[in-house]
């Protein structure tokens, strides 16, 4: 009998309510999702739909107003700030839109930083960094500063940084926003491959539906409400082609 996988990310009736004058604005409204290990999910929707707010709550950067976020068995909605910092450091890997590398650290040092802050930077850790950067085609750029490499290379460094400390969840906020189409596909594919290979739960916020060709699930969000969840290769491809 096949053992059923336990979700790494689970949200239940998750809401974020902002006060705007006398109005309560529900940036995310009753969102319930679950993401399994090795599953790569795209969070899509128009600007202002609440996808980044949703990502921030999943990343332990924002406390939910209502509902629950459980990642790896930890309830983030109950967690204190100091614990959340520790949790992010250990359990979450981040890729942001752009300019997210430390400009005065080399490519290698940027990736090593995640091991450094997790006290895992030893000989094995350094080897792991070199191997991952080599895998991402950056072996000849390891001593370069972020300003000395291209935008696509910077995003690949960022992907390496988000995975090197073996987090259970990897999150990406518009990782291809500043890239041309070819590089955007390249980066998304690498991201998807690494998530699948390493059994991570991955969420990518994107406004570019073409990038969804590598994901396993699309969660569509509109006005803070999850309006559609699209699963299965065929359905996803059909959704992309219709968009």
Partner 1 sequence: MAFYLAFKEVWRNKGRFFLFSLVIALITTLVLFIAALSEGLALANKEFLEKLDAELLIFQENVDYVASSSRIAKSKINDIQRIDGIDKVGPIGFSNGTIVFFDGRDDLNVSLIGIEANQPGSPPVISGVSFQIDRGTEVIIDKNIVNQTGIKVNDKIVLKTLQGTDEVYNEFDVIGITDGRQYLYQPSIFIPYRTWEQIRPQVNISSSLIETTSNVLAIKLEENQDQGLIQENIVEQVDGIDIADVKTAYESLPGYQAQQSTLNTQRYFTLLIGILVIGGFFQIQMLQKIPQIGVLKAIGVANPSVAFAVVYQIIIVTTFGVFLGAFISFGLSAAFPPGIPIVFTGNSVVIAIVTLLLIGPIGGLVSVRLAISVEPLIALGLSS
By beta-carbon proximity to partner 1, the closer residue of 95 and 216 is 95
Q: Which residue has the tokens 């998750």?
A: 14
Q: Which stretch binds partner 1 (CB under 8 A): 1-9, 70-78, 114-122, 207-215?
A: 114-122
Q: Each residue of 179-216: b (16+ CB within 10 Å) or e?
A: beeebbbbbbebbbebbbeeebbbbbbbebbebbbbbb
By beta-carbon proximity to partner 1, the closer residue of 1 and 82 is 82
170 near partner 1 (CB under 8 A): no
229 near partner 1 (CB under 8 A): no
CA-CA distance, 40 to 196, in Å (whole number)?
A: 7
Site string for partner 1, 27-46 (x = CB under 8 A): --------------------
By beta-carbon proximity to partner 1, the closer residue of 91 and 220 is 91
User: What order do you get walking across the sheet with 225-231 strand by strand?
Assistant: 92-95, 169-173, 201-206, 40-44, 217-222, 225-231
Structure tokens at 74: 């930890």
CA-CA distance, 228 to 170, in Å (whole number)?
A: 22
Q: Which stretch binds partner 1 (CB under 8 A): 35-43, 109-117, 181-189, 217-225?
A: 109-117
17 near partner 1 (CB under 8 A): no
Helix (H) or strand (E) holding 207: none
By beta-carbon proximity to partner 1, the closer residue of 100 and 206 is 100
Site string for partner 1, 148-167 (x = CB under 8 A): -------------x------
Structure tokens at 11: 């949200």
Give yes or no for a contact between 216 and 34, defined as CB atoms under 8 angstroms apart. no
Q: Which of 8, 33, 58, 59 binds partner 1 (CB under 8 A)?
A: 59
Q: Which of 189, 71, 77 is nearest to 135 (CA)?
A: 189
Site string for partner 1, 173-192 (x = CB under 8 A): x-------------------
By beta-carbon proximity to partner 1, the closer residue of 111 and 187 is 111
CA contacts within 13 A on the Cβ side of 239: 23
Give me the residues that bind partner 1 (CB under 8 A), please.
52-53, 55-56, 59, 61-62, 82, 85-86, 88-90, 92, 94, 96-97, 99-100, 102-105, 109, 113-114, 116-118, 145, 161, 173
């Amino acid at each position: 009998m096949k053992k059923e996988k336990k979700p790494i990310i689970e949200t239940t009736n998750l809401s974020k309510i902002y006060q705007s004058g006398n109005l309560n604005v529900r940036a995310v409204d009753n969102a319930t999702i679950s993401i399994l290990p090795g599953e790569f999910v795209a969070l899509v929707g128009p600007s202002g739909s609440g996808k980044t707010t949703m990502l921030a709550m999943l990343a332990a950067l924002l406390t939910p107003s209502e509902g629950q976020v459980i990642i790896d068995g930890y309830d983030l909605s109950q967690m204190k700030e100091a614990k959340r910092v520790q949790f992010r450091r250990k359990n979450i890997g981040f890729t942001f839109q752009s300019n997210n590398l430390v400009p005065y650290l080399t490519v290698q040092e940027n990736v090593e930083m995640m091991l450094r802050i997790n006290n895992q930077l030893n000989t094995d850790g350094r080897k792991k960094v070199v191997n991952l950067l080599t895998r991402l085609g950056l072996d000849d750029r390891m001593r370069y500063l972020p300003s000395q490499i291209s935008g696509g290379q910077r995003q690949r460094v960022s992907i390496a940084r988000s995975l090197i400390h073996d987090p259970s969840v990897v999150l990406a906020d518009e990782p291809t926003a500043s890239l041309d189409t070819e590089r955007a596909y390249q980066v998304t594919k690498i991201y998807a491959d690494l998530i699948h290979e390493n059994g991570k739960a991955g969420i990518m916020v994107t406004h570019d539906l073409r990038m969804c060709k590598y994901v396993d699930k699309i969660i569509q969000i509109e006005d803070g409400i999850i309006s559609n969840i699209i699963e299965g290769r065929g359905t996803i491809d059909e959704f992309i082609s219709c968009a």
